C-alpha cells in the first residue's frame, strides 16, 4: 500500500504530519504564519528598553512623564484598538476571505509600525503606535483560526503551540534588538528598531498571499463545523486573555 505524504514527511517528527497531506503551498503557508507571528510580536516590546531615549526625542525628560505618556497612554490606546479589531474579526472572518483579512491586517498594522521610526513628535508617535493595534488585533485570531483549515483536532494544539512559541520568541528577540540598538545609538537606535522589524512583514505578507488557502479552497475540515466553531471559541478566549496579560505587563 502506498504511504500517504504525512507518513513519509519529516514533519511527523514535529507533530505536524497532517500538513504534508495539503501540499507544498500549505507547508509554506504554515511557516509563513510562524514568521508572521514572530515579527508581529517582535515590535511589541521595542518601547520598553528605550523609554528614556524615546522620551528624550520628544522632549519628555521627567521620568513620571515618560512612564505615563510613553509607557502608559500608548499601550492603553494600542490594546483598546487591538481588542476591538480582534473581536470584530470573529464576524468578518465569516463574511470575507481569511487570506484577504490577513493581508489587510498586516498592511494596516505594519505601515504605522514602520512610520513609528520617523515620528517627529509625541502626538505623531502616539497615533502610529495606536494604529499598529490593527495588525496585532487583526492577525492574532486569524493566524490561529487558519490553522483549523490545515489541522484536525488531533494536531491543532501542536500547531497552535508552535505559533505561540514563535510569538514568545519574537517578543524576546524584539526587546533584545531594541535594547542593543538603543544602547549603541540613544538618538536614532530606537527608530531603527521599528524600521528593521517591520520590513520583513511586508515580504511575508506577499508570500502569504500566494500560499494561504481560502476556506473554500481548503474544503470543510473533516471534523465538521461544530469542531471548527469550538476551536474558534477557544482561540478568541485565548486572544482576549493574552491581550489582557500584555496590557498588564506594559502597565507595570
CATH code of the domain in which 163 resides: 1.20.1250.20
Residue 140 has pLDDT above 50, yes or no: yes
* Domain match, 194 and 247 both: no
> Hunting for cell 482561540 — which residue is that?
235
* Domain match, 49 and 95 both: yes
Q: What is the pLDDT of residue 6?
A: 56
Beta carbons of 236 and 140 less than 8 angstroms apart: no
The alpha carbon torsion through 91, 94, 98, 104 (nearest 10 deg) reads -40
Exposed, middle or buried: residue 61 (CB in 10 Å: 0-12, 13-18, 19+)? exposed
* Domain match, 59 and 89 both: yes
* Domain match, 68 and 185 both: yes
Q: Report residue 8 as a C-alpha cell.
A: 513519509
DSSP symbol at 194: H
Average pLDDT of the segment spanning 123-146 = 89
203-231 pLDDT, tens digit per residue, is 887 777 666 665 544 444 444 454 445 54
CB atoms near residue 206 (< 10 Å): 13
* Domain match, 205 and 231 both: no
Average pLDDT of the segment spanning 231-247 = 51
* Domain match, 211 and 117 both: yes
Mean per-residue pLDDT over the chain, rounded: 81
* Domain match, 121 and 232 both: no
Exposed, middle or buried: residue 91 (CB in 10 Å: 0-12, 13-18, 19+)? exposed
Range of the domain at 116: 8-216
Please report whether residue 2 resides in a domain.
no
Output the pTM of the full model. 0.79
* Domain match, 163 and 242 both: no
Nearest to residue 12, comparing CAs of 158, 116, 163, 198?
158
Residue 247 has pLDDT above 70, yes or no: no
Specify the number of domains making up the chain: 2
User: From CA 148, how far away is CA 64, in angstroms rounded?
Assistant: 45
The share of the chain scoring above pLDDT 70, in percent, equals 79
Please report whether residue 165 resides in a domain.
yes
* Domain match, 135 and 237 both: no
* Domain match, 47 and 109 both: yes
* Domain match, 189 and 151 both: yes
Beta carbons of 240 and 83 less than 8 angstroms apart: yes
DSSP symbol at 3: P
* Domain match, 184 and 244 both: no
Amino acid at each position: 500500500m502506498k504511504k500517504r505524504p504525512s507518513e513519509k514527511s519529516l514533519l511527523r517528527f514535529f507533530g505536524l504530519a497532517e500538513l504534508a497531506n495539503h501540499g507544498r503551498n500549505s507547508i509554506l503557508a504554515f511557516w509563513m504564519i510562524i514568521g508572521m507571528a514572530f515579527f508581529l510580536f517582535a515590535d511589541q516590546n521595542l518601547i520598553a528598553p528605550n523609554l528614556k531615549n524615546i522620551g528624550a526625542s520628544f522632549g519628555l525628560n521627567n521620568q513620571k512623564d515618560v512612564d505615563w505618556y510613553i509607557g502608559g497612554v500608548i499601550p492603553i490606546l494600542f490594546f483598546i484598538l487591538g481588542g476591538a479589531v480582534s473581536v470584530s474579526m470573529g464576524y468578518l472572518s465569516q463574511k470575507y476571505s481569511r487570506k484577504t483579512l490577513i493581508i489587510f491586517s498586516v498592511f494596516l498594522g505594519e505601515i504605522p509600525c514602520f512610520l513609528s521610526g520617523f515620528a517627529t513628535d509625541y502626538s505623531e508617535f502616539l497615533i502610529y503606535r495606536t494604529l499598529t493595534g490593527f495588525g496585532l488585533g487583526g492577525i492574532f485570531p486569524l493566524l490561529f483560526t487558519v490553522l483549523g483549515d490545515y489541522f484536525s483536532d488531533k494536531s491543532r494544539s501542536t500547531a497552535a503551540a508552535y505559533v505561540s512559541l514563535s510569538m514568545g520568541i519574537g517578543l524576546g528577540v524584539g526587546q533584545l534588538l531594541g535594547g542593543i540598538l538603543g544602547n549603541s545609538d540613544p538618538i536614532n537606535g530606537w527608530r531603527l528598531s521599528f524600521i528593521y522589524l517591520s520590513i520583513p512583514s511586508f515580504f511575508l505578507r506577499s508570500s502569504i498571499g500566494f500560499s494561504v488557502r481560502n476556506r473554500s479552497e481548503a474544503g470543510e475540515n473533516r471534523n465538521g463545523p461544530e469542531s471548527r466553531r469550538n476551536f474558534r471559541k477557544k482561540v478568541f478566549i485565548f486572544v482576549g486573555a493574552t491581550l489582557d496579560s500584555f496590557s498588564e505587563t506594559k502597565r507595570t
